Structure 1
Amino acid sequence: MHVTRHALLISLLLLATAGLIAGALFGHAMVGLSAGLLIWGVQQIRSFNRLSDWLHREDGSEPPEAGGAWGDLFDELARLQKRSRAREQHLRGIISRFQQSSAALSDAIVIIDSHHNLEWWNRSADRLLGLKATSDRGKPLMNLLRDPRFVRYFRKGHYQEPLELPSPVNSDLQLQYQITKFGEGDRLLVARDITRLLRLEQTRQDFVANASHELRTPLTVIRGYLETFLDQELPRPLQRGLGQMQQQARRMESLVTDLLLLSRLEASQHISDEHPILIHSLIRQIHEDGEALATGRGHHFVLELDSEYDLLGQENELRSAFSNLVFNAVRYTPDNGTITLRWQVDSQGGHFSVSDDGIGIEPMHLPRLTERFYRIDESRSSASGGTGLGLAIVKHVLMRHGAHLSIDSTPGEGSTFTCHFTPDMVVPVRETDAG
């Protein structure tokens, strides 16, 4: 461009000089200079008009022929146009491949602009969400997906956890919605059909529940006969064998009970209603049960309870969850250890924790502790009489109450298991007493 400006300046000087000389020969130097400048101006206007016409055609035609500076400018613009066209074709190819690949996905993918309007979606979104390319493009998302639960999920702006809802066009399909923010306020919505997974999970839950129910009756019969036999005078070897059978039958009964409870908890994600709970009384009862379990082991219990606040929820479920944490602490804390039960409330909500000064847990085990039947030490867990379902029950109870479990443990120093409840589940003691 610097060369072009230099060439234009030279052409201007040449025409002005030629006009000035020609005018001087006829005794009118200024007239000749003006004529030279006029001719130069007309040439520039013509060249500019030709450039403007070519740019407005946008048909990919070759630039007009021109000499001098304008010829150089046309050639440079033609090269820029070719490079731009090549980049555009490359980007179009990328977009086309993206659209082809996303169209092949079974998941619905929807791009939503910063104004919450539909910008683009794949074919699966037509099938799962009922979007129509002919009429819905550019429309507000909330006009098409009107379920109040989805509207609340979309507007809250925190999408760490997915949302599960029936499809708006087919209630037999269960969808999992996940939203991701990108760009300047844009969002990517992914809706996945999880109907088959939920049916498989329901089948598993039904099998566990039915099998547990069927096991209850024979176990009750076996235990009844064992207790009858053990009440008789029997040879020592036979009595020892029957005693071990009774111990294992009790353990199986505990396992069946926990499986039935877990199946019931998994049947719904939220508690049906909530009631005020005298949390201090509940914790003291669990403390007494823990002391009874620890009889003869010299455990020292410490209670630290915030006396001003209670909790809302289902008392039986929370009793089961809290008891599991306390009983685990008793089972896995060495003799003469200290176990601390705390109930405290702060701006983040209510927190019930169970701490011990036992052997602690290695960090690699912490993420899997709430899995069903996960055991750190198989022999130690079996000897303690645990079923391997306690922490899974705790996790599901807390999920149903909108709470969560955190685990802090240091090998050789002890562990702390804390149940965190949201502020709306905490109430002053006087409200609970009034209820």
Structure 2
Amino acid sequence: MHVSRHALIISLLALAGAGLLVGTLFSYPMLGLSLGLLAWSLKQVRQFNRLNDWLQREDGSEPPEADGAWGDLFDELSRMQKRSRSREQYLRGIISRFQQSSAALSDAIVIIDSQNNLEWWNRSADRLLGLKAISDRGKPLINLMRDPRFVRYFRKGHYQEPLELPSPVNSDLQLQYQISKFGEGDRLLVARDITRLLRLEQTRQDFVANASHELRTPLTVIRGYLETFLDQELPRPLQRGMEQMQQQARRMEGLVTDLLLLSRLEASQHISDEHPILIQDLIQHMHQDAVALASGRGHSFQLDVDSEYDLLGQATELQSAFSNLVFNAVRYTPDNGTISLRWWVDHKGGHFSVSDDGIGIEAMHIPRLTERFYRIDESRSSASGGTGLGLAIVKHVLVRHSAHLSIDSKPGKGSTFTCHFPPDMVVPIRAVGSDAG
């Protein structure tokens, strides 16, 4: 383009000089110069019109033939146009490949812009969510997905945990929604059909519940006969064996009870109704039971209970969850240890914690503590009489109450298990009293 500018200047000087020379021959040098400049200008206008016509065609045709600066300009623009078309074809190919691959996915994929409007989705979204390409593009998502649970999930903006709901177009399908943020306020919604997985999980739960229920009768019979035999005078080796059998039978009964409770908790993700549970009295009773369980071991207990606020929920479920934490602290805290029970309320909601100064837990075990039958030390757990289901029960009870469990522990310094409840599950004691009245 630098050469073209020089050529343009040279052509201007050539025509101006020729006009000036011709005008001088006829004694009109300024007229000749003006005519030369006019001729040069008309030539530039003609070439500009040719360029404009070529650019407006946009049909990929070759540029007009021209000499000098205009020829160089046409050639350079033609090369730029070819590069642009090649780049456009490449990008169109990428988009086409993306659309083809996303159309092959069984999961629904939806792109939502920063204004919460539908921007793009794949074919599975038509099938699973009922979106229509012709009429729904550009519409707000929550105008089409009207389930209040989905609307709350979408608006809260925290998508660490997925949401499970029936499909809006087929209630027999269960979908798992996961939202991710990207760009400047845009969101990517992925809806996955998990109906088969839920059916398999339901089959597993039914099997565990039925098997546990069927085990109750034989265990009751075995324990009854063992108690009858132990009431009689038996040889010492036989009596020792009978006592161990009775101990294991009790442990199996506890396991069956926990399995049945866990199956019932897994049947629903939310409690059916909620009532004040009188948490102060509940903690007091748990304290008394813990003192009885720790009899002769020298444990000391500390209570710090906020008397201004109560907790809403299912009393039997919360008692089971809290007592599991308290009794675990008693079982796994060495003799002469200290155990603290605390209930307090702040702007984040209500909190119940159980702390001990026992041997603590290594960090590698903490993420798996709420798994069924997960044991840090098999021999220690067996000796304590635990079933390995206590923390799994705690987790499911808290999930049903929209709460969560946090664990803070360091080897040699003890552990703290804290149940965190949202603010809407906490109610002032005065409000409870006035409602009851």
Q: Does 1:288 align with 2:288?
A: yes
In the TM superposition, residue 287 of structure 1 has moved relative to its aligned partner by 0.6
Paired residues for 1:113-128 under 5 Å = 113-128=113-128
Q: Are 1:325 and 1:417, in contact at CA under 8 Å, matched by a contact in 2?
A: yes
- 1:222-241 paired onto structure 2 within 5 Å: 222-241=222-241
Provide the rounded CA distance (Å) in 1 between the counterparts of 2:115 and 2:58: 32
Say whether residues 1:361 and 2:358 are aligned partners: no
Query: What is the CA-CA distance between 1:144 and the residue it aligns to?
Result: 2.7
Aligned-residue sequence identity (percent) comes to: 85
Match of 2:62 in 1: 62
1:210 aligns with 2:226: no
For residues 95-135 of structure 1, give each alpha carbon's deviation from its aligned partner in whole angstroms, at most 9, with x where no partner exists.
11111111111101112223333222212112112223343
| Counterpart secondary structure, 1:240 | helix
Deviation sequence 1:142-166 (CA, Å, 0-9, x none): 3332222222322232222212111
Q: Which structure 2 residues correspond to residues 253-402 of structure 1 after superposition, within 5 A?
A: 253-402=253-402
Residue 179 of structure 1 corresponds to 179
1:259 shift after superposition: 0.5
**Partner secondary structure for residue 363 of structure 1:** coil
Matched, 1:34 2:71: no
Matched with 1:21 is 21
For residues 200-224 of structure 1, the C-alpha deviation after alignment (integer angstroms, 9 at most, x for no partner) is 1111111111111101111111101
Structure 2: runs of 5+ lacking an equivalent? none
Distance 1:345 1:31 in 2: 97
Distance 1:313 1:150 in 2: 23
Secondary structure at 1:135 match in 2: helix
TM-score (norm: length of structure 2): 0.97
Report the more deviating stretch, 62-71 or 134-143. 134-143
**Aligned partner of 1:14: which letter?**
A
The letter for the 2-side match of 1:393 is I
Give yes or no for contact 1:278–1:432 (8 Å, CA) kept in 2.
Answer: no
2:196 partner letter: R
Q: Confirm or deny: 8 A CA contact 1:277 1:432 kept in the other structure.
A: no
Please report the TM-score for the alignment, with normalisation by the length of structure 1: 0.97
Q: CA deviation at 1:291?
A: 0.7
Instruction: Tell me the secondary structure at the aligned position of residue 232 of structure 1.
Output: coil
Q: Which amino acid aligns with 2:25?
A: L
Q: Is the 8 A contact 1:310 1:427 kept in 2?
A: yes
In the alignment, which residue of structure 1 is the partner of 2:83?
83
2:404 is aligned to 404
> In structure 1, what is the Cα distance between the partners aligned to 2:252 and 2:367?
27
Q: Is 2:3 the counterpart of 1:3?
A: yes
Provide, for residues 264-297 of structure 1, a one-character-per-residue CA deviation record: whole Å limited to 9, x for no partner. Answer: 1111111111111211111110011111111111
User: Is 1:248 the counterpart of 2:253 in the alignment?
Assistant: no
Gaps of 5+ in 1: none
Cα distance in structure 2, aligned partners of 1:420 and 1:285: 21
| Counterparts of residues 63-212 of structure 1 (less than 5 Å) | 63-212=63-212
Tell me how far apart the structure 2 counterparts of residues 302 and 331 of structure 1 sit (CA, whole Å). 17
Q: How far apart are the structure 1 equivalents of 2:14 and 2:366?
A: 86
Structure 2: how far apart are the matches of 1:152 and 1:313?
21
Structural RMSD (CA): 1.3
Query: What is the rounded CA distance, in whole Å, between the counterparts of 2:2 and 2:115 in structure 1?
Result: 44
1:48 paired to 2:42? no
